[in-house]
Structure 1
């Protein structure tokens, strides 16, 4: 079962594609561009459609999704944690 998708190998986040992801679960992810699977253990409950960190992200780091910059980290994020408005902001303003 695929729990999250990642566009390409260099992305720092994946998108959850199933309901009910709970902290402590081991998730399977599909890296689309390389057509390969990966796994990560969650550190947070994560709703469908939200992002999971694939690596440790420090304050000020750039978040990469689909190979592009989607924002900056404003609070430390561990691999397996939920990324959302509490720890990532746009660089537009």
Structure 2
């Protein structure tokens, strides 16, 4: 039986998903998680250009922690805010968690 007063539901516009990561500057090696992130595809936005990119995340990234945007060799400078923030302790693959277990801080390093 058909009911003439029944109508199809109205289509609601779908808001774009909020990015999972923010990247401070073009040229940075890392992005910062704006929420807890699971492995898989996630959007990231560059804060200086508003350019959006997709990142393939290889492991869980906690809120506020960093993910590598490109492969980094052992001993390589890690760039964030356009400045070196540390040196890699070992090679880091794009999509891996970047934290104290695989970089050492440049805060007290004069040689960077």
Note whether the superposition's TM-score is higher than 0.5. Answer: yes
TM-score for both structures, normalised by structure 1 = 0.93
Bigger proportion of residues as strand: 1
Greater length-normalized contact order (CA 8 Å, ≥ 6 residues apart): 1
Q: Which digits, 9 at most, give the CA deviation of each residue in 1:47-74, with x for residues without a partner?
A: 0000000000010100000111100000
Aligned-pair Cα RMSD in Å: 1.0
Moved over 3 A (4+): none
Bigger radius of gyration, 1 or 2?
2
Residue ranges of structure 2 left out of the alignment (5+ in a row):
1-17
- The one of 3, 11, 24 aligned to 1:7: 24
Q: Which digits, 9 at most, give the CA deviation of each residue in 1:21-71, with x for residues without a partner?
A: 112x10100001111101111111110000000000010100000111100
Q: Number of paired residues?
A: 91
The reply on whether 1:86 has 2:94 as its aligned counterpart is: no
The reply on whether 1:41 has 2:56 as its aligned counterpart is: yes
* Alpha-carbon offset, residue 8 of structure 1: 1.1
- The one of 6, 13, 16 aligned to 2:33: 16
